Amino acid sequence: MNSVSTALGMVMALCLAFTAKTIYDYSGWKWKVRPWVPFGLGFLLLCIFVLLSWHLDQSNSVAQRALERSVERNDTNAITTIAAAIQGQQWELKLIELIGIPLAVSLLTTALSNKVDHEYGAKLLEFEKYRDELAALAEEIKGLETELIAALESGLRGKELISRWQHVCFLNRRLILKLDRKKTFEPLINSNLVRDLDDSYPV
């Protein structure tokens, strides 16, 4: 019993040491872009701790029956040894319940939280790029419209004027098509964490 308890204690210590090492190596932004690391680690530790808890519970039941038989035989040495083993197993069970399983669950929740944060960050970067593209296109259209008006006022006519007008119309259609993409960012906009585009680009 003592050898089994010692072995289990060593396994738990190694698991905790491995967890600490992993936390040190993948802390910060690395976990943000690799949420599968804490998720896989948390799932593995949860399985290990659940199996250890089940094994200790089974061993404790066997030890309890052995203790009862030793009490019936009045075997003092056996009673002392088995009682110490039971106490050690109970301590290991408490360690698993209070530290091991909560640690595994916290890693799983950290993984899910990091996954959401990473996806939100990627979507935010995509939205910022989209907004910059709209701003650049709107600025280009504004400049070309100003040039077109100036050309009309200067008396320009014919194919060149028509070509300029067609180019402005083409860019306006592109802007409208780009604005249609806004629905892909509606969850982000509805969260009120970014400014809407309607007031900025009234096409």
pLDDT of residue 10: 66
pLDDT of residue 202: 40
pLDDT of residue 92: 78
Of the candidates 47, 45, 85, 90, which has an alpha carbon nearest to the alpha carbon of residue 63? Answer: 85
pLDDT of residue 5: 55
Low-confidence ranges of the chain (pLDDT < 50): 1, 199-203
* Length of the chain in terms of residues written: 203
Angle at 72 (CA atoms; ends 71, 77), nearest 5 degrees: 40
Can you state the angle between helices 2-26 and 76-95, rounded to 10 degrees? 20
pTM tops 0.85:
no
pLDDT of residue 199: 47
